[in-house]
Amino acid sequence: MGGLKAPLLTGNVELTPSIAKLAIDSYLKTISLWNTSLVKKGLQPVSPISPVGSSAYCKSDSPETRYGDVDYLVSFPVEHIDGLSQDQIRKNENEIKRKYEKDLMVFLNQSTEVDKYANADATNKGSPLLTIVKIPNNMHVQVDTIVTFPRYSSKEKPWMPARWTPERGLKGYTIGHLYTSLGNYFNMTIGDRGVTAKTIDEKRVSSRIRKNTKLKTISTNISTFLKDIAKEIAGEKYIENNILTNHSGMNPSNITIYDLAMGIKGVAYTLEDSGISKSASSTLSDILDLYEKGLQKSIEGKLSRGLSNKDYAKLSALNKEVLEAVKIIFN
């Protein structure tokens, strides 16, 4: 379907590759008009990067493909200042996001030209970053803005374009929960701003802890982040296993669950070889358990939000398939 924010407008739209491409075209025209408005105000424009999620493949997918939603990655401008702590950097990024989100809402309310491409009234019922765009034949589609910043989306280190793209043909949550399971096991977050960790007295703590913590960035390089994680944990005792040497991160041009699972396996065996953990197989078993619970929680959540029993059964079968594939790699 075409999005959940305005179901009366988007609920009956089948998100085929051709519809997704039309929606992206209207979205980019909306962003272009907003950028013109930003420049007139003396503000830096935003930088549209690429579609992410399953619709990242809309130009090459078969006409029979159907997407759950359309996501588009957009970089918001943040001034680089040397010497800032990671907490201050994140604070600055969050302030810019709030400032630009507010400006987008004002722009949509005031612009007449943008009415050709976006439904301002529907978009501004909630965050304007969930944009209801207009496409031919009086149809509407929701395009979700995935906000990033320059340090996570450069050509040299394309963290977010890769991290937010699933394996082609699979739902985004199937690989997303594998990242999350790895991060949770080691008290790290592998999300929209690279691999980060909260620390107290330089020791990693749960991301749920808020008081007296400092934020540490471990990696923003999608090609080496698994190796960076292992080095962070092992420190001077680091002895790299050849599995990790061959799977130190993800290939931004070819995202697969296989590569991520092999890399996690490499981390586990590197930590065993380094004397940090007693058993790589035990580490992998625990991560697999977290992954299974995450997959199930994801589809249970979709069911509670109105997913049909038929579609739930399909996703349940998909969960079983990807879980078994990861289990075979881990073993």
Looking at residue 302, what is its pLDDT?
85
- The pLDDT of residue 11 is 86
pLDDT of residue 311: 87
Three-state SS for the chain is CCCCCCHHHHCCCCCCHHHHHHHHHHHHHHHHHHHHHHHHCCCCCCEEEEEEHHHHHCCCCCCCCCCCCEEEEEECCCCCCCCCCHHHHHHHHHHHHHHHHHHHHHHHHHCCHHHHCECHHHHCCCCCCEEEEEECCCEEEEEEEEEECHHHCCCCCCHHHHHCCCCCCCCHHHHHHHHHHHHHHCCCEEEECEEEEEEECCEEECCCCCCCCEEEEEECCCCCHHHHHHHHHHHHHCCCCHHHHHCCCCCCCCCCHHHHHHHHHHHHHHHHHCCCCCCHHHHHHHHHHHHHHHHHHHHHHHHHCCCCHHHHHHHHHHHHHHHHHHHHHHC
Pairing label, strands 130-135, 194-200: unpaired
Six token digits for residue 194: 């690279």
Q: What pLDDT, on a 0 to 100 scale, did the predictor assign at position 308?
A: 86
Claim: this prediction has a pTM higher than 0.75? yes
Q: What's the CA gap between 270 and 275, in Å, rounded? A: 9
pLDDT of residue 4: 75
CA distances from 56 to 51, 162, 164 (A): 5, 10, 9
Give the pLDDT of residue 262. 98
According to the model, what pLDDT value does residue 31 have? 98
The reported pLDDT for the residue numbered 68 is: 84
Distance CA 96, CA 204 (A): 28
Distance CA 160, CA 72 (A): 11
pLDDT at 2: 57
- The domain ranges of the chain are 7-153, 168-330
For each of the chain's 331 residues, which pLDDT tens digit applies? 557 788 899 988 999 999 999 999 999 999 999 999 999 999 999 999 999 999 999 999 999 999 988 999 999 999 888 889 999 999 999 999 999 999 999 999 999 999 999 999 999 999 999 999 999 999 999 999 999 999 999 888 899 999 999 999 999 999 999 999 999 999 999 999 999 999 999 999 998 998 999 999 999 999 999 999 999 999 999 999 999 999 999 999 999 999 999 999 999 999 999 999 999 999 999 999 999 999 999 999 988 887 789 989 999 999 999 999 999 999 8
Q: Taking the mean position of all CA atoms in its chain, how far away is CA 63?
A: 25
